[in-house]
């Protein structure tokens, strides 16, 4: 097992006829992903690269039994695309689109939370189970099948981390880019919980960055529930305090969000935090060796 | 995207939220005229894209039009430094002149997004004014938070409960309920990331008034508000930041001498971290984003080179959605146009990486390719020491 994706995942691409939608559809298919359908309103009935295109997700599901969606719909229609995926009863919707207005996502998230569809993203690199299935824009070649779960708020920094893991000989069970937007579907804790229960995951590498309180909440959850080793990296240790207007954000987060606060919270909860972005793989390797020796 | 206080107040007024009488002035003579119209006794407020103006001397009460004019002359000539501007301060180009008001009580009221619940959240406090974050830290029980259900919106009874907690009663409490409902409507319709009234006051005469206001628009929603770009005051942004904005690049000027171009905000921050670890000082943060085109990369590179502090350039691109040969072409194009002789270190990974490296090697630029993040940082730091 892995989490979220496996060899039976059947993927529908929403926004398949757009430039990046089509490019990444091809990339995913080359990686081995079963792309069974595409959706572009108004273009139902055509085939693109041999893939049947439908007007609605519902139709795509009816004719192809798709159970996972990959969304490339541009920002004005992206929240609607998420809702459509939920309405069609898909198991998982992975939204790659960057730049969806907050107001749209507040509504989409409210409906999605109550549905049976899991949402990853938006504004994320996607999900990959190495060697099996890729639903996203990450480069496939840096990944290796293995037993480390990866969860990240960042895009390209995740690639850096995964490459380092692969280089030190640690393959990955599943990589999940949860996205960097203020409103996202699955958060760190949702993914950590799945890795905790996945028999094919032995440890987790987590990538966070400054801002918000998600890493602190994850740290508290890890301390309480996680029974597998976790290593982490937090980007932005040297970031200068940003220019800002207004106080509301600081009031809600209670002044959390600095890298040092996150690193302290994670360290206090037993997470091995990599001191440098060049040592992410090495930190995970040392942690796994230590865990193996203890066992 | 931020706007000025006077613009925020115009929007509040359009939504039926009472604001003090006032006018915007562009010259000190206009400041005098506005003050005269308001009866002489008024408040002169410098308009800049930062808070803490009171502490920086940007907000003052005057008693005569002449005094207002003097203050106008002083403010228009200077860069206002406040706790939020950084030491270089911000230029004052517009001044808001407002009637002076007899204040009875001050409150804090805002609506913003709560990431933890994915909902808009109304924040209210009976102690308004500049020290609100301090109040939140010291006495969090004084802060009233209300998560707004997107299905129902803010309901009058919910607003009333908050208004009562602020200690308002009778007709002014009902006025406040209406104000809160209007504020929520404004927040949604104008696609705000933050709308903040601090302080919201009750006057001696028994009115509610928004004495100061801040609005931050959601950058992602600008496509449905064609009037927003015109509201931007370019004098409040650095020239490099303006150019970056044109090409939708995320750029922040820093103090060091190594120009940085990275794809993705997280990797860009990690790149700054690793440069510092190797003893280098980054000149900027620059995220070229996911779907950058060759043109975008070229403009990004030009922005880096236009910064006279940059003595070298570190490019760190991990291609996922981006192709390395496209990055390389963009760099070569921009460096050629700018006659760049600065040392450049390029670390690229991703699709078409060999093609990208070959293009750079054959370009004739003063460029080295690095194998990984640490190697790249070490190389650019070493090249700058030579």
Q: Do A156 and B143 touch (CB under 8 A)?
A: no
pLDDT surpasses 60 at B291 = no
Mean pLDDT in residue range B313-325: 81
Nearest to A126 by CA among A112, A136, A138, A114: A136
Q: Do B220 and A240 touch (CB under 8 A)?
A: no
- So what's the pLDDT on residue B250? 81
- So what's the pLDDT on residue B322? 65
Nearest CA in chain A to B376: A278
Nearest to A277 by CA among A130, A125, A163, A142: A163
- So what's the pLDDT on residue B320? 62
CA trace torsion A163, A164, A165, A166 (10° rounding): 50
* Residues 195 through 224 of chain A touching chain B, CB cutoff 8 Å: 207, 209-210, 212-214, 217
- So what's the pLDDT on residue A167? 96
Report percent pLDDT > 90 for chain B.
Answer: 62
Range with the largest mean pLDDT of B163-167, B241-245, B355-359? B163-167
- Nearest CB neighbour to B191, from listed A101, A243, A251: A101
Nearest CA in chain A to B213: A246
Partners of B386 in the β-ladder: none
Nearest CA in chain A to B223: A76
pLDDT surpasses 70 at B275 = yes
Least confident of A248-252, B226-230, B376-380: A248-252
Over residues A206-254, the pLDDT tens digits come to: 999 888 888 999 999 999 999 999 999 999 888 766 555 556 666 666 6
Closest Cα of chain A to B222: distance in Å?
A: 9
Q: Do A152 and B266 touch (CB under 8 A)?
A: yes
Q: Do A103 and B221 touch (CB under 8 A)?
A: yes
Q: Do B221 and A102 touch (CB under 8 A)?
A: yes
- So what's the pLDDT on residue A156? 87
Chain B hits for A245, CB-CB cut-off 8 Å, are: 2, 49-51, 84, 194, 214, 216
- So what's the pLDDT on residue A246? 57
Alpha carbon B110 to its chain centroid, in Å, reads 17
* Residues 218 through 277 of chain B touching chain A, CB cutoff 8 Å: 218, 220-221, 223-224, 252, 254, 262-267, 269-274, 276-277
pLDDT surpasses 90 at B319 = no
Alpha carbon B317 to its chain centroid, in Å, reads 26
Put simply, whether B384 touches A (Cβ < 8 Å) is no
Mean pLDDT in residue range A159-183: 95
Give this prediction's pTM. Answer: 0.91
Cα-based angle A36, A179, A146 (whole degrees, multiple of 5)? 65
List B5, B98, B108, B127, catalytic entry = B108
Over residues B84-126, the pLDDT tens digits come to: 777 888 999 999 999 999 999 999 999 999 988 999 999 999 9
- Exposed/middle/buried for A47, CB within 10 Å: 0-12, 13-18, 19+? exposed
Over residues B15-52, the pLDDT tens digits come to: 999 999 999 999 999 999 999 999 999 999 999 988 88
Question: Does the active-site annotation cover A24?
Answer: no
- So what's the pLDDT on residue A242? 54
- So what's the pLDDT on residue A237? 85
Nearest CA in chain A to B214: A246
Over residues B44-99, the pLDDT tens digits come to: 999 998 888 888 899 999 999 999 999 999 999 889 998 877 788 899 999 999 99
Q: Do B373 and A244 touch (CB under 8 A)?
A: no
pLDDT surpasses 80 at B294 = no
- B253: which 2 tokens? 């000027």
Closest Cα of chain A to B292: distance in Å?
A: 12
Complex-level ipTM: 0.89
Cβ pairs A/B, distance under 8 A: 196
Nearest CA in chain B to A112: B118
Report percent pLDDT > 90 for chain A.
Answer: 83
- So what's the pLDDT on residue B87? 80
List B32, B98, B127, B196, catalytic entry = B196
Nearest to B88 by CA among B249, B241, B270, B221: B241
- So what's the pLDDT on residue B290? 61
Closest Cα of chain A to B39: distance in Å?
A: 31
Calpha distance A17→A13 (Å, rounded):
9
Cβ–Cβ under 8 Å, residues B43 and B6: no
- Nearest CB neighbour to B274, from listed A98, A155, A276: A276
CA trace torsion A246, A248, A251, A254 (10° rounding): -90
- Nearest CB neighbour to B274, from listed A212, A252, A277: A277
Higher-pLDDT residue of B44 and A2 is B44
Range with the largest mean pLDDT of A244-253, B209-218, B252-261? B209-218
Nearest CA in chain B to A75: B220
Nearest to A93 by CA among A288, B53, B92, A105: A105
Chain B hits for A180, CB-CB cut-off 8 Å, are: 265-266
């Amino acid at each position: 097992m892995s989490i979220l994706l496996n060899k039976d995942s059947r993927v529908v691409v929403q926004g398949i006829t757009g430039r990046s939608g089509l490019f990444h559809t091809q990339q995913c298919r080359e990686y081995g992903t079963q792309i069974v359908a595409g959706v572009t309103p108004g273009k139902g009935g055509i085939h693109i690269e041999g893939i049947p295109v439908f007007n609605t997700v519902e139709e795509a599901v009816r004719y192809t039994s798709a159970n996972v969606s990959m969304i490339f719909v541009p920002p004005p229609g992206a929240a609607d695309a998420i809702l459509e995926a939920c309405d069609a009863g898909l198991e998982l919707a992975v939204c790659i689109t960057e730049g969806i207005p907050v107001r749209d996502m507040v509504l989409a998230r409210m409906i999605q939370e109550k549905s049976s569809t899991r949402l990853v993203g938006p504004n994320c690199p996607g999900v990959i189970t190495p060697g099996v299935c890729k639903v996203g824009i990450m480069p496939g070649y840096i990944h290796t099948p293995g037993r480390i779960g990866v969860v990240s708020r960042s895009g390209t920094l995740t690639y850096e981390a995964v490459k380092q893991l692969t280089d030190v000989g640690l393959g990955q069970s599943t990589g999940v880019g949860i996205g960097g937007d203020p409103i996202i579907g699955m958060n760190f804790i949702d993914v950590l919980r799945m890795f905790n229960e996945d028999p094919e995951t032995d440890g987790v590498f987590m990538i966070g960055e400054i801002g918000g309180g998600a890493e602190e909440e994850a740290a508290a959850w890890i301390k309480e529930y996680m029974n597998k080793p976790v290593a982490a990296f937090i980007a932005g240790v040297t970031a200068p305090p940003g220019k800002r207007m207004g106080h509301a954000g600081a009031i809600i987060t209670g002044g959390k969000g600095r890298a040092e606060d996150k690193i302290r919270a994670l360290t206090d909860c037993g997470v091995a935090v990599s001191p440098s972005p060049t040592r992410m793989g090495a930190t995970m390797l040392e942690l796994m060796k230590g865990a193996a020796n203890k066992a | 995207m931020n706007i000025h206080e006077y613009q925020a107040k115009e929007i509040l007024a359009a939504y039926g939220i009472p604001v003090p009488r006032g006018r915007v002035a562009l010259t000190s003579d206009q400041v005098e005229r506005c003050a005269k119209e308001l009866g002489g006794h008024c408040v002169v407020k410098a308009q800049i894209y930062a808070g803490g103006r009171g502490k920086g001397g940007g907000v003052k009460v005057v008693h005569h039009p002449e005094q207002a004019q003097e203050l106008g002359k002083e403010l228009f000539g200077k860069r206002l430094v406040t706790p939020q501007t950084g030491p270089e301060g911000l230029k004052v180009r517009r001044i808001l002149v407002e009637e002076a008001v007899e204040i009875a009580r001050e409150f804090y009221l805002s609506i913003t997004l709560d990431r933890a619940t994915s909902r808009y959240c109304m924040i209210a406090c009976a102690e308004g004014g500049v020290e609100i974050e301090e109040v939140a830290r010291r006495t969090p029980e004084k802060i009233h938070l209300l998560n707004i259900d997107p299905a129902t919106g803010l309901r009058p009874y919910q607003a009333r409960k908050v208004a009562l907690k602020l200690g308002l009663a009778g007709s002014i409490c009902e006025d406040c309920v209406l104000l809160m409902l209007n504020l929520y409507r404004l927040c949604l319709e104008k696609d705000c990331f933050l709308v903040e009234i601090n302080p919201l006051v009750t006057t001696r005469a028994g009115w509610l008034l928004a004495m100061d206001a801040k609005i931050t628009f959601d950058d992602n929603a600008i496509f449905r508000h064609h009037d927003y770009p015109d509201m931007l005051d370019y004098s409040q942004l650095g020239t490099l930041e303006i150019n970056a904005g044109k090409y939708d690049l995320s750029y922040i000027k820093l103090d060091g001498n190594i120009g940085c171009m990275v794809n993705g905000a997280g990797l860009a921050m990690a790149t700054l971290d690793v440069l510092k670890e190797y003893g280098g000082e980054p000149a900027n943060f620059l995220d070229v984003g996911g779907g950058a085109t060759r043109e975008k990369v070229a403009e990004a590179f030009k922005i880096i080179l236009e910064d006279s502090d940059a003595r070298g350039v570190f490019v760190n691109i991990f291609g996922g959605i981006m192709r390395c040969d496209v990055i390389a072409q963009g760099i070569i194009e921009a460096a050629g146009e700018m006659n760049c002789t600065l040392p450049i270190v390029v670390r690229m990974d991703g699709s078409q990486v060999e093609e990208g490296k070959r293009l750079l090697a054959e370009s004739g630029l003063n460029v080295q390719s690095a194998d990984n993040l640490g190697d790249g940082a070490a190389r650019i730091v070493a090249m700058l020491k030579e």
